Structure 1
Amino acid sequence: MTASVTASVAAADSDPAGPPTRLTVVVPVRNEAGNIESLVTEIGRACAALAPFEVIYVDDGSTDATPAALEAARAGRPWLRVLRHARSAGQSAAVRSGVAAARAPIVATLDGDGQNDPAFLPALVAALEQGGPAIGLAQGQRIGRKDGPFKMLQSRIANGVRGRILRDSTRDTGCGLKVFRRAVYRALPYFDALHRFMPALVAREGYGVVHRDVVDRPRHTGRSNYGLFDRLWVGLLDLAGVWWLIRRKRPTPSVTEVAGREETPC
């Protein structure tokens, strides 16, 4: 992990200072120059009713014109922030950097390729908030997938195996549209592909998970830079590790501080 990523992640141990914010939207991107402006516009439109909000783009070491596109997108958008990894560290690291820098107690994520429609963000935020403190995650589940048949077959197999082993009651954990409590995310064990196992890990911490169907869209331009988990054999070790973490979980103790005995005056 590069020094810039390490510094950003270290910030998760403290609460970032800043103006009061209801929602932070984190968008990990790598080489998505052609999708920046249109998606930023859509996010701003979708989140208008959720103000005050902020959007954090995490540029995961792009080698194309993504940095320039993000700089141009910031003009006239005080709610848009940009973080950059010096070298690509992966989607999970990009999400973690964004959550570490988030100023809001509620965080939303979506993929930066335009396939996740930001119009579904208000419904996911409402599902989380209406559920109360007992709900830790509102997970989008894609319908009308626009991926090719081979990738969809791989994803179906991977989701089926994961569901049988982890019993997380989620048919599509790979959907980038998620809304969760920042404090809950910070309690999760960090590892590569964490974002793919959030329903199971949030439940492991004792929180509920709600689901909402979201409509998948075709990619506007460019090609996929993430998504290797859809190949089942890449995720098997991660799956085994998460299964082990769930099996080893012990009840979290309820802790109260014992008041000190008052001094008896002489």
Structure 2
Amino acid sequence: MTESVPPDGLPRLSIVVPVRNEEGNIAPLLRDIEAACAQTGLFEVIYVDDGSSDGTAGVLAGLAATRPWLRVVGHAQSCGQSAAVRSGVRAARAAIVATLDGDGQNDPSFLPAMLAQLEAAGPGVGLIQGQRVGRKDTGFKRFQSRVANKVRGAVLKDATRDTGCGLKCFRREAYLALPYFDALHRFMPALIVREGYAVAHHDVRDRQRISGVSNYGFFDRLWVGMLDLMGVWWLIRRRRRVPQLRGEAR
């Protein structure tokens, strides 16, 4: 078994996995995360159960009983993916946090390289954004993603072709400085840049979903997504530099 986080030590990496009704995907994905993180040193995994109605809570409780590096956070009711990610990041103990989707499509074997890339980049880089290659989604879903990314890129100029990829590695302090809203996870590159950080990218391999179906639809979020895009554009336009003080007040 990989080394767990000692009580008096802090992990090098906190991995946040938001899930809702993913009972069949938890154990296989957790095995992959554990295997990938064996080379990163001390780590912790934080699963956030976003109000699941299946056996997700029971599966997580059973796995956590024998894995001291696994922590579980639960929402009493479903609050959405951005809320689940935020709950996990707030609970994280490492200065660097990674996220990946709970359906198994994000390959955790890329986490060590993304962590090393962020650490080597220095404090000026706030986010390593995964960009999927060889996506395993349906043709329609790939089409809608391409359209959404082109529209978002044209409006926000964030130089990121795939903000929908759940594989991200970022500085916890940078994330917690971002304005919170329901679709925050889809606009992280633009908002990280808004806070004065740079964003780098890392190509990652997509995988087939292990079991179950997606909990996120298209038409039910299309118009909300357009409103969110306009809101983020407004936030970026309204950002003002925080004054840097010289000396101490007398």
TM, length-normalised to structure 1: 0.88
Q: Percent identity?
A: 67
Q: Give the one of 234, 239, 263 matched to 2:229.
A: 239
Judged with a 3 Å threshold, the aligned counterparts in structure 2 of structure 1 residues 62 and 167 are, in CA distance, closer, same or farther, namely same
Computed over aligned residues only, the root mean square deviation of the Cα atoms, in angstroms, reads 1.6
- Rounded to whole Å, the distance in 2 between the matches of 1:18 and 1:98 is 21
Runs of 4+ in 1 over 2 A off after TM superposition: 226-234
The equivalent residue for 1:111 is 101
Deviations 1:76-105 (A, max 9, x none): 211000010000000000000000111010
Match of 1:218 among 202, 208, 222: 208
Q: What CA distance in whole angstroms lies between the structure 2 residues aligned with 1:239 and 1:18?
A: 43
Task: Give, in angstroms, the shift of residue 257 of structure 1.
Answer: 5.1
Counterpart contact for 1:154–1:230, Cα < 8 Å: no
Measured after TM superposition, the shift of residue 19 of structure 1 is 3.2
Q: Please tell me the residue identity of whatever aligns with 1:156.
A: R
8 Å CA contact 1:158, 1:231 repeated in 2: no
Q: Which moved more, 1:105-114 or 1:71-80?
A: 71-80
Question: Which of 187, 191, 213 is matched with 1:197 structurally?
Answer: 187
Q: Determine the structure 2 residue equivalent to 1:254.
A: 244
- Quick one: which amino acid aligns to residue 165 of structure 1? V
Q: Quote the offset at 1:226 in angstroms.
A: 2.6
- Correspondence 1:156-175 to 2 at 5 A: 156-175=146-165
1:36 and 1:154 map into 2 onto residues whose CA distance is: 27
2:96 partner letter: I
Mean alpha-carbon deviation: is it higher for 184-193 or for 228-237? 228-237
> Which residue number corresponds to residue 83 of structure 1?
73
The corresponding residue for 1:138 is: 128
The alpha-carbon distance between structure 1 residues 88 and 231, as it changes in their structure 2 partners (threshold 3 A), is: closer
SS at match of 1:180: strand
Residues 13-52 of structure 1 aligned to structure 2 (within 5 Å)? 19-52=9-42
Instruction: Count the aligned residue pairs.
Output: 244
> Which structure has the larger Rg?
1
SS of 1:72's partner is helix
| Contact 1:36–1:69, Cα closer than 8 Å, also in 2 | yes
Identify the residue that residue 90 of structure 2 maps to in structure 1: 100
1:177 is aligned to 2:167: yes
Structure 1 residues 250 and 121, CA gap change in structure 2 (3 angstroms):
same
Distance in 2, matches of 1:202 and 1:140, equals 14
The correspondence for 1:148, drawn from 138, 161, 170, is 138
Mapped to 1, the partners of 2:94 and 2:103 lie a distance apart of 24
- TM-score norm. by structure 2 comes to 0.94
Label 1:26 to 1:18 Cα distance change in 2 as closer, same or farther (>3 A).
Answer: farther
From the superposition, tell whether residues 143 and 188 of structure 1 become closer, same or farther in structure 2 (CA, over 3 Å). Answer: same
- Could you list the runs of 5+ residues in structure 2 that have no partner in the other structure? 1-6
Structure 2 counterpart of 1:142, one-letter code: R
Secondary structure of 1:57's match?
strand
**Structure 1 counterpart SS, 2:115:** helix
Aligned counterparts of 2:77 and 2:110: Cα–Cα separation in 1: 31
Give the counterpart letter for 2:226 in structure 1. L
In 2, are the aligned partners of 1:202 and 1:209 still within 8 Å (CA)? yes
User: Residues 54, 180 of structure 1: CA spacing in aligned structure 2 closer, same or farther, 3 A cutoff?
Assistant: same
Measured after TM superposition, the shift of residue 255 of structure 1 is 3.2
Q: Give 2:4's aligned residue.
A: none
Unaligned runs of 5+ in 1: 1-16, 261-266
Tell me, yes or no, if the aligned pair for 1:138 and 1:179 is still in contact at 8 Å: yes
1:75 Cα deviation (Å)?
3.1
3-state DSSP class of the match of 1:49? coil
Provide the C-alpha distance between the structure 1 equivalents of 2:145 and 2:158, rounded to a whole number of angstroms: 16
Say whether residues 1:69 and 2:69 are aligned partners: no
User: In the aligned structure 2, how far is the partner of 1:87 from the partner of 1:23?
Assistant: 28
Question: What's the CA shift string for 1:203-239, capped at 9, x where partnerless?
Answer: 0111000000000001010000136489643310000
